[in-house]
Amino acid sequence: MARVVIDGKSYEVDGRRNLLHACLSLKLDLPYFCWHPAMGSVGACRQCAVKQFKDDRDTAGRLVMACMTPAADGTRISIDDPEAKAFRASVIEWLMLNHPHDCPVCDEGGECHLQDMTVMTGHVVRRNRFPKRTYHNQDLGPFLTHEMNRCIQCYRCVRFYRDYAGGRDFDVFGAHDQVYFGRAEDGVLESEFSGNLVEVCPTGVFTDKTLARHYTRKWDLQWAPSICAHCGLGCNTSVAERGGMLRRVMNRVNPEVNGHFLCDRGRFGYERAQRVTEDPEKEKRTPEDSEKKGLSESSGSSGVKRFSEFSGSLCGLLIGIGSPRASMESNFALQTLVGKDHFYSGLSDLDASLVSLILDILRNGPARAASLQDVENADAVFILGEDVTNTAPRLALSLRQSVRQKALERIGKGGIPLWHDAAVREAMQDEHGPLFIATPYATRLDDVATAVWRAAPDDLARLGLAVAHEIDAEAPAVSGFRMPMNSMADALRDARRPIVVCGTSCGSVPLIQAAANVAWALRRQGRAADLCFTVPECNTMGAALLGGGRLGAAFEAEADTVIILENDLYGRAGAAQVDGFLGRVKHVVVLDHLRTRTTSKAHLVLPAATFAESSGTTVNNEGRAQRFFQVLPSREPVMASWRWISEMLVAAGRTGWASLDEVLAAMGDARIRAAAPPAAGQRIPRRPPRYSGRTAMAAHVSVHEAPPPPDPDSPLAFSMEGFSPEAPPPLTPFFWWPGWNSIQAAHKFADGPSGVRLIEPGQRGAFFREVPAPFTPRRGEWWVVPVHHIFGTEEQSAMAPAIVKRSVEPTLALRPEDASDLGVSTGGAVQCMLDERTYRFRVQLRPELPVGVAGLSLMGATKGVGLPCWMALRRA
């Protein structure tokens, strides 16, 4: 802590910060552009100038850049000093020389940091009469609009795209007053994190192209705090709607999870999580008859009525199948309805065993489940088996920062403040690591790896076990194993906060065990080693915590009626098995918001709410329970799955729940309840104070303004009225503050973490002793591992139009040697028999694949194939 004097007042601040950061943390207004809370200072824009004084007798002082000056004890500065103010006004004037002043047609207008700073500095009259320079705008793909004329040369975009996210297809061109930020030529931005430019750029150069299709100003949007539903990491988001249409997703800072950034799947994968109002037929989000003909013939009756007719006929044995992409509450509701003994977890049998192993490791072993923030701060990382960028995208961005930790430590010791990004990068140059990546195929993090190794999952497990043994002799030895990556064990042992990253994507039990052994060996050596396991879906961890029978057992169960919760069983098991099951059960009821093969086989499909249409809790890979809140006002017949189930309970003469809090109370886990405050007390408005058209927007229906829809499930209101400034982080719908209309207003809000960790480590940690045999290739058969794709693998985002444009066609990856043996080349096709069906795949050559291993894109139909598995391939 340091004491600094600002405009004659004394404050306590964190002395490790720079003055700009310190001032903003005190909620003082000081304009800036180039500084970014996650990327530090470079002193490029000169906007944050303040007057600094030597001591209390110094009245002259001198101008300094606040972002480049440490908040050292005893520092005296003035923000209000007339000279500092004049300097800042002149800075904005020159930054604005070439700016087109096109706010009315700019998508950033109303949430623009440049507008805010211009107003804040008082630059109101344009004096420059010379022509402005203009630029060509590029087509950067389906995610971002490019409008270069608006640029003020703060360099944040390149710093994010290249320095922070490691992208190499974006840069700054030219010099002097002709500086251009973009690509060498038009084309899709390759980085999986490109969408962050929308928030990083303080002007309207980079704006959200998906939003542009259904554009609404920030002040006219209705917002809710949400949790990304598109992978297991649970990044915190703000989602926005207007007029019943979901419009956009933005980042919501949770320092322990996503910090300031999201991945592009999370940001742009939202467009199908809503009713498609233009063409409701296409979406078919109403109870419907299926191929097999529904129980109720009355096609015109409302969903609720048909449902009650149906539930009145509930008889015989009822079973329920849960879902890793449905909320805790909905899973719990189903479990309550059918009873614990008849509730089956909706994970594939393989995933169920992998995730329960992970749970066991995290709960009983000594290594903690790492948060993304922990990963970012790790000073050595060992990735076992995961193609992180494609299985848990945001984690890759954290790992990219972790490789700087060792060097940062050295640089910090040398006296360079770590927020001084320019100096730090200069001192660091290309130094990075240690990061060891052992995976079956190349990953997008290989460029910053200390060493990479490609092998079949069993061999990766052997590597992990051997490393564990080298770290701690108590861990089982792997006989006959030649260590491929030198000095790996040493590097991990030399670290203070090493992390082992592993997950379910290789489908390998020994691999997960090996990861645990490495972390535990390090723990025994006194290192604060953590484990970071990725899981496939937004509530995989929650589903595993809730438990339930194996899906395989459900298929064997004697059931008259099955209720399937937000789950496509064809993605969890072989088609023949699922067909057999669904064909055998008399009544198949599916609650879902996606159209799947399973819904097409159902007798009754009940339209469940998406994450944007309901509130609930998901548990991320770290075991953190986090609440997401409804943003789209409810519209019949769509309801949260747990509400449908509650009605079933009531119809069966049992007690249901009227609100989310009642479900949470019934669940009885105080920690899950504590993930966000209950629906009590002063309401927090979902709409900004400037929301317009409230009294007119439904005038075509009725001239009387309808009361705001009730929301029994949260402390939020579908209204502008209420009280927001004190909203705790889990309940902050959007970042907006007087004078700070852009997302940079985040610093005005409480910056604590949110969510509650449900899993903490135990004491046990007896090493896993089973060592798998070396992988032995087979003749004419390949061990086919799943290849994950950030755009396309995840079910809920896969159909979003922007994501579709970035998805690749599924392929089967083969070593070039294997392909030529089969007589195929890139673009050719191979086929194989699985589950009595013939599959055809297009071939892609991947020279790095280990001998005997192939990779198959995991999307659509290949999900039920049961990867990884042996496949006999033939030329098609």
Partner 1 sequence: MLTTQERSAIEEEREHYPTARAACVEALKVVQRTRGWISDEALRDVADLLKMTLDELDGVATFYNLIYRRPVGRRVMLLCDSVSCWIMGCDGLKEHLKMRLGADLGQTSADGRFTVLPAACLGACDHAPALMLDETLYGDVTPQEVDRILQEGS
Binding site for partner 1 (CB under 8 A): 168-175, 180, 183-185, 430
Distance CA(137)–CA(324), nearest Å, equals: 42
Q: Which CB atom, from 231 or from 354, has the smaller least distance to ligand SF4?
A: 231
- Considering beta carbons, is residue 34 or 489 the nearer one to ligand FES? 34
**Closest distance to ligand SF4 from the beta carbon of 156 (Å):** 4
Kindly tell me which of 577 and 618 has the beta carbon lying closer to ligand SF4.
618
In the complex with partner 1, the residue whose CB is nearer, 143 or 749, is 143
When asked if residue 157 is in the footprint of ligand SF4 (CB under 6 A), the reply is yes
Q: Which does 393 bind (CB under 5 to 8 A by kind): partner 1, ligand SF4, ligand FES, none?
A: ligand SF4
Q: Is residue 453 packed enough to be buried (19+ CB in 10 Å), middle (13-18) or exposed (0-12)?
A: middle
> Does residue number 235 form part of the binding site for ligand SF4 (CB under 6 A)?
yes
Residue 171's binding partner among ligand FES, partner 1, ligand SF4, none (Cβ under 5 to 8 angstroms by kind) is partner 1
Q: Does 234 bind ligand SF4 (CB under 6 A)?
A: yes
Q: Contacts with ligand SF4 in 358-397 (CB under 6 A)?
A: 392-394
The item of ligand FES, partner 1, ligand SF4, none sharing an interface with residue 600, based on CB under 5 to 8 Å by kind, is none
CB of 125 to ligand FES, least distance (A): 23
Among positions 24-43, residues that touch ligand FES (CB under 6 A) are 32-35, 43
CA dist 737 and 257 (Å) reads: 23
**Residues 249/408, Cβ–Cβ less than 8 Å:** no
What are the residue ranges of helices labelled H in 786-874? Answer: 795-798, 801-806, 816-822
* C-alpha 719 chain-centroid distance: 28
**Footprint (CB under 6 A) of ligand FES, residues 4-23:** 20
Least CB distance to ligand SF4 at residue 694 (A) = 31
Q: What is the C-alpha to C-alpha distance for residues 492 and 529, in angstroms, rounded to an integer?
A: 9
Q: Does 45 bind ligand FES (CB under 6 A)?
A: yes
Q: Which residues of 157-189 are buried (b: 16+ CB within 10 A; e: fewer)?
A: bbbbbbbbbbbebbebeeeeeeebbbbeeeebb
Q: In whole angstroms, give the CA distance from residue 320 to residue 553.
A: 12
Exactly one of 19, 24, 65, 84 binds ligand FES (CB under 6 A); that residue is 65
Closest to ligand FES by CB, 48 or 727:
48
CB nearer to ligand SF4: pick between 393 and 868: 393
How far from chain centre, in Å, is Cα 388? 12
One residue of 48, 96, 602, 648 binding ligand FES per CB under 6 A? 48
Give dist(CA 485, CA 782) in Å, integer: 25
Q: Which is nearer to ligand SF4, 246 or 564 (CB)?
A: 246
Return the number of the residue (230 or 686) whose C-beta is nearest ligand SF4.
230
CA nearest neighbour of 319 among 560, 535, 67: 560
Q: Is 650 left (phi over 0), alpha (psi -120 to 50) or beta?
A: alpha
Distinct helix (H) and strand (E) counts, the chain: 29, 35
Structure-block tokens of residue 474: 């108590």
CB 156 within 8 A of CB 200: yes
Choice between 102 and 186, CB closer to partner 1: 186
* Contact (CB, 8 A) for 630 and 612: yes
Q: Say how many residues make up the chain.
A: 876
Strand, coil or helix: what is 100?
A: coil
Name the phi and psi angles at 598, rounded to 5: -65, -45
Candidates 263, 471, 519, 588; binder of ligand SF4 (CB under 6 A) is 263
Distance in Å, CB of 464 to ligand SF4, minimum:
24
Q: Which is nearer to partner 1, 115 or 191 (CB)?
A: 191
Contact (CB, 8 A) for 530 and 374: yes
Alpha-carbon distance of 857 to 443, in angstroms, equals 14
Q: Tokens 């962050």 — which residue?
A: 196
> What, of ligand FES, partner 1, ligand SF4, none, does residue 67 touch, CB below 5 to 8 Å by kind?
ligand FES
Residue 185 contact partner, candidates partner 1, ligand FES, ligand SF4, none, CB within 5 to 8 A by sort of partner: partner 1
CB of 551 to ligand FES, least distance (A): 54
Q: What share of the chain is helix, strand, coil (3-state, %, to 5)?
A: 30, 20, 50
Nearer to partner 1, 180 or 215 (CB): 180
Nearer to ligand SF4, 152 or 369 (CB): 152
Longest dimension (CA), the chain: 89
Pairing, β 604-607 against β 587-592: parallel
- 473's CB contacts (< 8 A; 6+ apart) are none
Which residue lies nearer to partner 1 by CB, 183 or 404? Answer: 183
Q: Minimal CA–CA distance to 538: which of 423, 621, 448, 599?
A: 621
Q: For ligand SF4, which residue of 19, 91, 246, 262 counts as binding (CB under 6 A)?
A: 262
Q: State the minimum distance, in angstroms, from the CB of residue 172 to partner 1.
A: 6
32's contact among partner 1, ligand SF4, ligand FES, none, with CB below 5 to 8 A by partner kind, is: ligand FES
Nearest CA to 327 among 588, 622, 672? 672
Nearer to ligand FES, 61 or 728 (CB): 61
Q: Is 629 left (phi over 0), alpha (psi -120 to 50) or beta?
A: beta
Nearer to ligand FES, 79 or 362 (CB): 79
The site partner of 48 among ligand FES, partner 1, ligand SF4, none (C-beta below 5 to 8 Å per kind) is ligand FES
What is the smallest separation between the CB atom of 184 and partner 1, expressed in angstroms? Answer: 4
Interface with ligand FES, residue 67, by CB under 6 A: yes
For residue 82, count CB atoms less than 10 angstroms from its CB and return exposed for 0-12, middle for 13-18, buried for 19 or more: exposed
Pairing assessment for the beta strands 368-369 and 530-534 based on DSSP bridges? parallel
From the list ligand SF4, partner 1, ligand FES, none, which binds 759 (C-beta under 5 to 8 Å, kind-based)?
none
Shortest Å distance, C-beta 91 to ligand FES: 9
Query: Nearest approach, Cβ of 23 to ligand FES (angstroms)?
Result: 11
44 makes contact with ligand FES (CB under 6 A): yes
CB-closest chain residue to ligand FES = 67
Q: Are 352 and 360 in contact (CB under 8 A)?
A: no
Residue 184 interacts with, from ligand FES, partner 1, ligand SF4, none (CB under 5-8 Å by kind): partner 1
Question: What single letter denotes the amino acid at residue 244?
Answer: G
CB 348 within 8 A of CB 544: no
Please, what is the minimum distance in Å from the beta carbon of residue 169 to partner 1? 5
Interacting residues with ligand SF4 (CB under 6 A): 151-157, 181, 201-203, 205, 228, 230-231, 233-235, 258, 262-263, 265-266, 392-394
Interacting residues with ligand FES (CB under 6 A): 20, 32-35, 43-48, 65, 67
